[in-house]
A and B are shown apart, each in its own frame.
Chain A
Amino acid sequence: MDNEKKIPANLLLNKICQDYFTRAEPNEFYLPVSEEAFAELIPQLPKFETLLISLFCVENFAGSTGFTLFYVLEKRRAQNFVILLRRLNGNEASSIAEYFPSAGWFEREIRDGFGIEFTNSVDKRRLFLHEGYPHDFHPLLKSFKNRDITENRKSMSGAGKYLFKEVKGSGVYQILVGPVHAGIIEPGHFHFSVIGETIFNLEVRLFYKHRGLEKLAEGKTPAEAIIVAETISGDESAANTVAYCLAVEKIAQGSVPERAGYLRTILLEMERIYSHLGDLAGMNVDIAFPVGASDFFVLREEILRFNETLTGSRFLKGLICPGGLKRDIDSRDLFKLYSYLDSFLRRLRRAADYVLHNESVIDRLDTTGVIKKELVQPLNITGPAARASGVGIDNRIDHPYGIYPFFELAIRTQEKGDVHSRFDVKLSEIQDSVEIIQKSVSALKSGSVLDPISLKDGYGLAVVESARGQNLHWVYIKNGLIERYKVRTASFCNWQSIEHAVIGNIVPDFPLINKSLNLSYAGTDL
């Protein structure tokens, strides 16, 4: 490790871009970097189509004391991940948000969790710790043992006021919405600066649902922590549980039986179908077109009922575990699903035809909430939102996992990046998912579904494509227990795109834009 620290930055850059990213054997490469090389390297990386997909901190990593920052890098069309390890002396580091805008929230998250100060960052407000938390409280420090901190508190407000970016001037007014909204939605606060009816600026404040999931996982055995992965975001539970299990299986060098691989894929695609159906319905509701929505709602309910038949849970909980599945799924139910999906496709197309042949629907969807293609890389926007803006990325193809390499998957892209494009992308993806499920059911052979893993210590990264985009899970096991569990769901990065997408749109279109992006509050707040 010490040898690598002496490598100058330009050599390091060659090594990263021409060796690690392009190596044939898919892997994640951990690369310790000295402070000088790091400072030289970072400004050059964005030129090589390199993205910062996650940034997190680990205390006392692999025998060291103090903090280590993990910069997870991805390169377009490269299968591997490169993780720069930056060891800190003390609790100060320089910010890289200037070169990688996606780092902004990550750095604020680390500051809250560990108390690390990013010296030249422009935004030093707290992120997931709101006013109710005391000053100098950093829950992810190892010295803090998880407990109820409200027992002896004197008042409900600890830290100072949270200041919003506010546009001022004649004719500009502010609309404050949330955290409690008018519908049955999750909590979040939106601060609009509006001129007439046009949104001039939006600032999103989230993390109202911060439940301390990362800390909760610490000290649990890998089997106990499944429930934490499941509860990250209720409608993403299969994707998150599979990602968590992939990481644990990678550490244990375990494998999954073929049948379990196919069944997991069926569950993942069922999740994508019902999640996308909810969006298609929701977009219709938000433009006051409930007739169009109801067909999609009916289809989604039927998929949820199939979920229950297959797994016992409408949200696919409690079945996936490291090494495969806890129990088998009855093949007769799968055949029923197979034949149901034929009529499902017909009805889906009819429902979509009805909606998309309606002029007033198109009028609302077209040119609304555009996400520019240029934003996708700096903000690390993933999933249908990126594909609707003309960026053909999909982790099932770019970083294949499970049995996805056996399928020929198509990437559905649209160019305009508006709500209509996202509607179209999601509609085509539902049809693709149906095809994947039907192929999986046909390919299924009987066999065991669980290959118990023998636990080992170590760390591993897993990245999956959930319905919302790229979900990243990093697990670090020490002495058979979880030492650190880092989750970054697609919504965490995609949320920042909405601040750009709404500019120039009218306030009544905000719910529609929000729905078309389908951002999970729970998955972001953790």
Chain B
Amino acid sequence: MIEPFHNLFKARLAPRQIRRDSNFEEIGLKLKMEISSIFGRSLAIREVDSGSDNATEIECNNLSTPYYDIERFGVSFVASPKHADILLVTGAVTLNMEMAVLKTYEVMPFPKLVIAVGDDACDGGIFKSTYAVRGGVDKILPVDIKIPGNPPTPTAIINGFLALMEQLRNQPRKS
């Protein structure tokens, strides 16, 4: 039975909780600085699942949960590829998803970057040369960085973002 005045009379402040991972924080702060210098303020990522087992999606979702909260570092997952700087693809590319991934990439504004997350996305993994799968993401799109793992942990994923920023900083700027 729901007590109607429950929330009125009982203060329901959440206790202050500190659950931060020092390693993750360190990478996050570095990433924030890189993003500020390369992208201005923020980095917009569009995630597309091209055929993963859903564990990689769960880890990407975890980046936005209280333990990690990646938006603090200027990274946001956006709803439309038209708003995105980066296309994050998880899973080996299945024949059934090939067209959808290509179309998503096409509508992104330039300059566009691609990250492959997970073992299967990197090179096709156990699905290499089977009938249902084209292979890794690099078979159909130019991939800028690969983050291996089955699935990669949230820390591994954010580390991959940082590596991509460093790669961008070191490469000559295209006109």
A interface residues with partner B (beta carbon < 8 Å):
128, 130, 132-133, 139, 144, 146-150, 156, 179-180, 182-187, 207-212, 215-216, 227-228, 230-235, 237, 278, 281, 294-295, 297-298, 300-301, 304, 313-315, 317, 354, 356-359, 362, 520-522, 525
Q: Which of B7, B55, B98, B133 contacts A234 (CB 8 A)?
A: B55
Contact B67 A298 (CB under 8 A): yes
* Interface contact B97-A297, CB-CB below 8 Å: no
Is B34 interfacial (CB 8 A cutoff)? no
B65 with A184: CB separation less than 8 A: no
| Interface stretch (choices B25-33, B43-51, B160-168) | B43-51
**Shortest beta-carbon distance from A435 to chain B in Å:** 25
Question: CB < 8 Å: which of B6, B49, B77 contacts A187?
Answer: B49
Report the nearest A residue to B55, measured CB to CB. A234
Contact of A210 among B65, B129, B132, B135 (CB under 8 A): B132
B131 at the interface (CB under 8 A from A): yes
CA distance A317 to B73 in the complex (A): 30
Among candidates B14, B62, B100, residue contacting A208 with C-beta atoms closer than 8 Å = B100
Contact A146 B96, beta carbon cutoff 8 Å: no
A165 nearest CB across to chain B (Å): 20
Chain A's closest residue to B77 (CB) is: A184
Provide the B48-72 mask, 1 if CB < 8 A to any CB of A, else 0: 1111111111111110011100000
Query: Of the candidates B54, B77, B132, which one forms a contact with A211 in the assembled complex, judged by CB atoms under 8 Å apart?
Result: B132
- Contact check, B94 vs A521: say whether CB atoms are below 8 A apart: no
B130 and A148 contact, CB distance less than 8 A: yes
Closest to A186 in B: B49
How far is A278 from B3 in the complex, measured between Cα atoms in Å?
Answer: 27
Q: Which residue of A lies closest to B2 (CB)?
A: A357
Determine chain B's interface SS by DSSP, over half rule. mixed
Cβ contact within 8 Å between A522 and B96: no
Compute how far the CA of A300 lies from the CA of B64 in the bound complex, rounded to whole angstroms: 13
- Cα(A215)–Cα(B126), bound, Å: 12
CB within 8 Å of A: which B132-163 residues? 132-135, 150-151, 153
| A209-B91 in contact given A235-B58, A298-B65 (Cβ < 8 Å) | yes
A317 with B150: in contact, given A209-B49, A520-B54 (CB under 8 Å)? yes
**Residue contact B126 to A216, C-beta cutoff 8 Å:** yes
User: A521 contacts which of B6, B7, B12, B54 (Cβ < 8 Å)?
Assistant: B54
Question: How far does the alpha carbon of A235 sit from the alpha carbon of B92 in the complex, in Å?
Answer: 17
Question: Are the C-beta atoms of B53 and A522 separated by less than 8 Å?
Answer: yes
8 A Cβ contacts from B73-105 to A: 77, 79-81, 91-92, 94-100, 103-104
Question: Is A150 within 8 A of B95, CB to CB?
Answer: yes
Is A522 within 8 A of B94, CB to CB? Answer: no
Contact B58 A234, beta carbon cutoff 8 Å: yes
Residues of chain A lying within 8 A (CB to CB) of residue B98: 132, 156
Q: Is A186 touching B57 in the complex (CB atoms < 8 A)?
A: yes
The answer to whether A298 touches B19 (Cβ under 8 A) is yes
Closest 9 CB pairs of A and B: A234-B55, A212-B132, A234-B53, A182-B79, A297-B65, A130-B96, A132-B95, A209-B51, A301-B67
Task: Flag if A211 contacts B51 (CB, 8 Å).
Answer: yes
Distance between Cα atoms of A298 and B14 in the complex (Å): 13
Contacts A185-B57, A234-B56, A522-B53 hold; do A133 and B95 have CB atoms under 8 A apart? yes
Q: Which residues of A contact B53 (CB under 8 A)?
A: 230-234, 237, 522
* Bound-state Cα–Cα, A132 to B93, Å: 13
From B2, B47, B97, B133, name the one whose CB has the most chain A CB atoms within 10 angstroms. B97
Nearest residue (CB) in A for B79 is: A182
CB distance from A237 to the nearest CB of B (A): 7
| A215, B131: Cβ atoms closer than 8 Å | yes
Q: Which of B100, B133, B151 contacts A315 (CB 8 A)?
A: B151
B residues near A281, Cβ cutoff 8 Å: 65
Task: Report the bound CA distance from A298 to B18 in whole Å.
Answer: 11
Q: Using Cβ atoms and an 8 Å threshold, which residues of chain A touch B132?
A: 139, 210-212, 215
Tell me whether A298 and B66 are in contact (CB under 8 A).
Answer: yes
**A482 CB, nearest partner CB in chain B, Å:** 14
What are 24 A-B contacts defined by CB distance under 8 Å? A132-B99, A139-B131, A146-B129, A148-B130, A184-B60, A185-B49, A187-B49, A187-B97, A208-B94, A208-B96, A209-B51, A209-B52, A211-B127, A212-B127, A212-B132, A231-B126, A232-B53, A233-B54, A234-B52, A234-B56, A235-B54, A304-B62, A313-B150, A525-B96
Provide the residues of chain B in CB contact with A208, threshold 8 Å: 51, 94, 96-97, 100
Does the CB pair B153–A314 fall under 8 Å?
yes
Residue of B nearest to A297 (CB): B65
Q: Are A357 and B3 in contact (CB under 8 A)?
A: yes
Give every chain B residue within 8 A of A207 (Cβ-Cβ).
Answer: 96
Which of A139, A146, A150, A179 neighbours the largest number of chain B CB atoms within 10 Å of its CB? Answer: A179
- Closest Cβ of chain B to A300, distance in Å, is 8
Instruction: A301 to B3: give the CA distance in the assembly, Å.
Output: 31
